[in-house]
Amino acid sequence: MPKREDPKLLVGFHTSDDAGIYRITDELAVVSTADYITPPVNDGYLFGQIAAANALSDIYAMGATPIMCLNLVNFPSQKLPAETLRQIVQGALSKITEAGAVLAGGHSVEDDEPKFGLAVTGTVHPDRYWGNTGAQPGDVLILTKSLGSGVLFNANVKGWVSKAALDKCIGTLTRLNRTAAEIFRRFDVHAATDITGCGLAGHGLEMAKGSNVTLVIDGDSVPAMDESLAMYEKGMTTGVNSHNRKLVQHHFEFGSKRKPWQEELFFDPQTSGGLLVSIPKAQGRGALEALIEQGETEVQVIGEVYPFNGRTHVLVA
């Protein structure tokens, strides 16, 4: 029989958390994750940066510090030059180094489509890690990055997105969640996750259900990337939006003032998205000011946590 229970396994697959955590000693726990993506951009170096930031984010979302990475590579060596792979790895290495971690090797597989990511090992004190199931009534919800990268990348294929908006989007995706995580460690984080492929709706629902609470989100406070809402209003979407909507449809509710195209932002699949953190309301302003002071200019308080209302786990007002 497979080994499913171990008192040293502090976080496993039961809670849909961002990484697994295993206690080594009373002072040390190992955090482990793996994540890789298909290219959202044509530039190999930027692809490597985005993929690495995306994978490292899982460690930051647990309140941990990354220490070692392994490359995960799928690459069509008969179709693309070796220089492209070198650029991807160099881009990833730049973010690994920025995170203070080391690249220790990796594994490659021949594939028809390039894919890249990292397996990341981190460390955290076994009594100080964050999970996604501890949100408490009275908390406020803080989101550190704007939403909308999924629709922007799709719209860019048709030439609908301005260079300024796309460059700003890429800047957001290549920005590590390191600074935000370090600042949040000064506060009493009750729950945390990063917003990736399931969108704010999906990852917010995981937090709400796991915590048995209702998240009430102020839709007007949710930060949107430049031109992302305009793309949805224009009729653009992604292949994942409808899937994400179906995943949450029985537990997620919109207020009447939200237009259908505005709702789509909540289902937009993010890559290297921001942290969604639940902290005591009394600490919200201090955390927000500290984040902004350190350059996290997209950060917003987007809602509050209430006792579960018996019907809806996430309500967007």
For position 3, what pLDDT does the model report? Answer: 60
pLDDT given for residue 4 in this prediction: 63
Q: How far are the Cα atoms of 197, 216, 285 from residue 278, in angstroms, in the given order?
A: 20, 12, 13
Residue 128's DSSP bridge partners are: none
Q: What size, in residues, is the chain?
A: 317
In a domain, 276, yes or no: yes
Q: Of 74, 92, 124, which closes a domain? A: 124
Tally Cβ neighbours within 10 Å of residue 217.
23
Number of domains in the chain: 2
Q: What is the pLDDT of residue 226?
A: 98
Same domain, 118 and 143: no
What is the rounded CA–CA span in Å between residue 81 and residue 277? 41
pLDDT at 5: 77
pLDDT of the chain, 317 residues: tens digit per residue: 456 678 999 998 888 888 999 999 999 999 999 999 999 999 999 999 999 999 999 999 999 999 999 999 999 999 999 999 999 999 999 999 999 999 999 999 999 999 999 999 999 999 999 999 999 999 999 999 999 999 999 999 999 999 999 999 999 999 999 999 999 999 999 999 999 999 999 999 999 999 999 999 999 999 999 999 999 999 999 999 999 999 999 999 998 889 999 999 999 999 999 999 999 999 999 999 999 999 999 999 999 999 999 999 999 99
Beta strands (DSSP E) in the chain are 9-11, 20-23, 29-37, 65-75, 102-110, 115-124, 139-143, 191-194, 213-217, 252-254, 275-280, 300-307, 314-316
Residue 153 lies in a domain: yes
Q: Which residue carries 């294929």 as its tokens?
A: 157
- Contact between 305 and 139 under an 8 Å Cβ cutoff? The reply is yes
CA distance 233 to 229: 6
Q: Are strands 20-23 and 191-194 parallel, antiparallel or unpaired?
A: unpaired
Q: Look at residue 102 in the predicted model and tell me its pLDDT.
A: 98
Which CATH number do you get for residue 37?
Answer: 3.30.1330.10
Residues 284, 301 contacting (CB under 8 angstroms): yes
Whole-angstrom Cα distance, residue 266 to residue 199? Answer: 6
Gap between the Cα atoms of 301 and 299, Å rounded: 7
In this structure, what token pair is assigned to residue 151?
């629709």
Indicate if 153 and 221 belong to the same structural domain: yes
CB 110, CB 77: distance < 8 Å: yes
Last residue of a domain, one of 80, 99, 124: 124
CATH code where residue 167 lies? 3.90.650.10
Task: Say how many Å lie between the first and final Cα of the chain, rounded.
Answer: 47
Same domain, 197 and 68: no
Q: How many CB atoms lie within 10 A of CB 307?
A: 11
Q: Is residue 3 part of a domain?
A: no
Ranges assigned E (strand) in 79-223: 102-110, 115-124, 139-143, 191-194, 213-217
CA distance 48 to 15: 29
Domain that residue 217 falls in:
139-316
Nearest to 36 by CA among 56, 13, 16: 56
Q: Are residues 247 and 159 in the same domain?
A: yes
Please report, as a single letter, which amino acid is at residue 170.
I
Q: Is residue 129 part of a domain?
A: no
Query: How much is the pLDDT for 1?
Result: 45
Amino acid identity for residue 221 in this structure: S
**pLDDT reported for residue 257:** 84
108 and 166 in a common domain: no
Q: Are residues 261 and 305 part of one domain?
A: yes
Torsions phi, psi of 22, nearest 5?
-130, 125
Q: Are residues 194 and 297 in the same domain?
A: yes
- In single-letter form, the type of residue at position 129 comes to Y
On whether both 146 and 120 belong to a single domain, the answer is: no
Q: Do 165 and 288 fall within a single domain?
A: yes
Let me know if residue 177 belongs to a domain: yes
Which amino acid, 198? C
Last residue of some domain: 124, 156, 185? 124
| Pair (157, 120) in one structural domain | no
Question: Do both 170 and 302 map to the same domain?
Answer: yes
Residue 67 lies in a domain: yes
What is the pLDDT at residue 222?
A: 98
Alpha-carbon span 111 to 93, nearest angstrom: 22
Q: What are the C-alpha distances in Å from 106 to residues 17, 68, 72, 122, 305? A: 24, 11, 6, 16, 41
Q: How many CB atoms lie within 10 A of CB 107?
A: 10
Could you tell me if residue 131 is inside a domain? no
192 and 274 in a common domain:
yes
- Does some domain include residue 272? yes
Q: What is the pLDDT of residue 256?
A: 83
